[in-house]
Structure 1
Amino acid sequence: MSVQFAGTTALVTGASSGLGAEFARVLTARGADLVLVARRLERLEAMARELEARHGIMARVLGTDLGVPASWGQVRAFTDAEGVRVSTLVNNAGFGTYGVLAEADPARADEEVRLNVGALTALTRAYLPDLMSEGTGALVNVASTASFQPVPAMAVYGATKAYVRSFTAAVAWETRNTGLRVTALCPGATRTEFFDVVGSEHAKVGRYQSPEQVVRTAMRALDARHTPPVVVSGAANRVVAVLGRLAPARAGLPVTAALMGR
């Protein structure tokens, strides 16, 4: 049976496009009000108007850059000022970079860690007591199939997503008796703006999935009687994930490096 979110509020980061926008659409179709957070305020406002008209929900928007630590507290301050109690949190904001670490822009690498790890951790911590007390919503942290093995040429990205997967599984255990559904969503290559930001198609491994397919996987996990702490989207990606966990690093690294064009 599909979980309904009527009468609750979901906060979605990175909501201006891709997976974040699709999560927003699906959650409103199930009755949730929204708080949409991303850098591109105009896109958020357009989406909010569209979803309010289509589903009769209320959508609030906050344009801010979660790669800046000062914004993390700003998000909580915004929902408090609006009198919103968040029952579902989707930490989707993040980006990847491609290239060997020795040649990477240090500022860009630092930003990648701040957004993929710092913002996700800070927002999870800020809202977790509310999510647990409500016990009717969900925590979805977007990881990646890159989290299952070291990724040469995307060393920082792969490591940040390994953190997300490990962190989320631990939080799922800690909150297991609260009614909160917690999962780390691990998509592979997805037709979003991700590769435009990365700047290289070498970062793509395997067939593309659509945002609709990936979010459908997440919602099936949330609808399950026992939500898995980690869910991989796509059958082929699940095979890759299993192999990544079983293969010794010395054996897996050359294969991964070759797939990444290195």
Structure 2
Amino acid sequence: MGTALVTGASAGLGLEFAWQLATAHHDVVLVARDEERLTRLARQLEAAAGVRAEVLVADLADRAQVDRVADRIRSDEDPVGLLVNNAGFGLAQRFVGGDLAREEQALDVMVRAVMVLSHAAAGSMVARGRGAILNVGSMAALLASGTYSAHKAWVRSFTEGLAVELKGTGVTATAVNPGFVHTEFHARGDIDTRAYPEVAWLDAQDVVADALAAVRRGSVLTTPSLRYRTAAGLVRIAPRSAVRAFGRYRKQIEHPSLDEPADT
């Protein structure tokens, strides 16, 4: 894989991707908004794994900053061999009556940035004849849970189409579609998870290990854990009316905090 670039690297799955890639002796480029967290993480990775950890502070809701990340991906100096499009956040609001600016920010981060960065990576990697793009999707792509589901459905479909285009080039595209994962994602998005039993939750280490194994195999889609693969199969064969009746499975907590959404 060579050097790996990970978006949303300061927390959650992105943080775990950074650690697993670094301990597998890959240099990493860490992308997120929180410079303090990124700098601390870079020092830890370099000390613990003996790799080079580059910090690239960027808000992926801002097109100019996305373009800076794309320029780094296209650079021939220490070329990026693996792009991990991980940045994202939960909306925890209804579309009707919700904050449209927040909806647009989510679209920019989880759709537009994925497209722009994948375009930069695919072009550079195909020219070199090797590389991989890993997009973090979600089980929500199969559901009808507001615009978050729509964004993740786009990621899944986009990744499949990209994989078709890349066939035979030496470059692969993979989407990982986890269910609930123990990270900061839900707390930082003010999402109430009290109704969901412990059996519904996955460990970040297992999700990331599954995703990276899928990249090594050249798999296009992967769903970590047998229970979520089974759930995905059931959702696919269920009538869409039943899926829609399930509706929004994430609710806003009663007293939301003023925290920013997960790192972008």
**TM-score (ref. length: structure 2):** 0.88
* Contact 1:12/1:24, CA 8 A, preserved across alignment: yes
Shift of 1:146: 0.2
The residue correspondences of 1:186-205 to structure 2 (distance < 5 A) are: 186-202=177-193
Shift of 1:243: 2.0
Structure-1 separation of matches of 2:52 and 2:203: 27
User: Counterpart of 2:12?
Assistant: 18
Structure-2 separation of matches of 1:21 and 1:261: 25
Flag as ranges the 4+ runs of structure 1 deviating above 3 A. Answer: 77-82, 133-137, 202-206, 259-262
- Structure 1 residues 108 and 261, CA gap change in structure 2 (3 angstroms): closer
The residue correspondences of 1:161-180 to structure 2 (distance < 5 A) are: 161-180=152-171
Matched, 1:97 2:88: no
- Segment drifting more, 201-210 vs 173-182: 201-210
Shift of 1:202: 4.9
Shift of 1:71: 1.0
* Contact 2:87/2:110, CA 8 A, preserved across alignment: yes
Shift of 1:192: 1.1
* Contact 1:12/1:37, CA 8 A, preserved across alignment: yes
User: Deviations 1:6-34 (Å, cap 9, x if unpaired)?
Assistant: xx211100000111111111111222111
Percent of paired sites with the same residue: 36
Give unmatched runs, 5+ long, in structure 1.
none
Shift of 1:121: 0.6
User: Counterpart of 1:209?
Assistant: 202
* Contact 1:40/1:63, CA 8 A, preserved across alignment: yes
Shift of 1:111: 0.4
- Structure 1 residues 112 and 138, CA gap change in structure 2 (3 angstroms): same
- Segment drifting more, 159-168 vs 244-253: 244-253
Match of residue 248, structure 1, among 227, 231, 239: 239
Shift of 1:79: 5.4
Structure-2 separation of matches of 1:91 and 1:174: 18
The residue correspondences of 1:1-262 to structure 2 (distance < 5 A) are: 5=1, 8-78=2-72, 83-151=77-145, 155-202=146-193, 207-224=200-217, 227-257=218-248, 259-260=249-250
Return the structure number with greater strand share: 2
**TM-score (ref. length: structure 1):** 0.88
Give unmatched runs, 5+ long, in structure 2.
253-264
> Whose RCO is larger (CA < 8 A, sep 6+)?
2
User: Deviations 1:189-215 (Å, cap 9, x if unpaired)?
Assistant: 111111123212259766111110100
Root-mean-square deviation over aligned CA pairs: 2.1
User: Deviations 1:90-135 (Å, cap 9, x if unpaired)?
Assistant: 0000112123211211110110111000111100001211222334
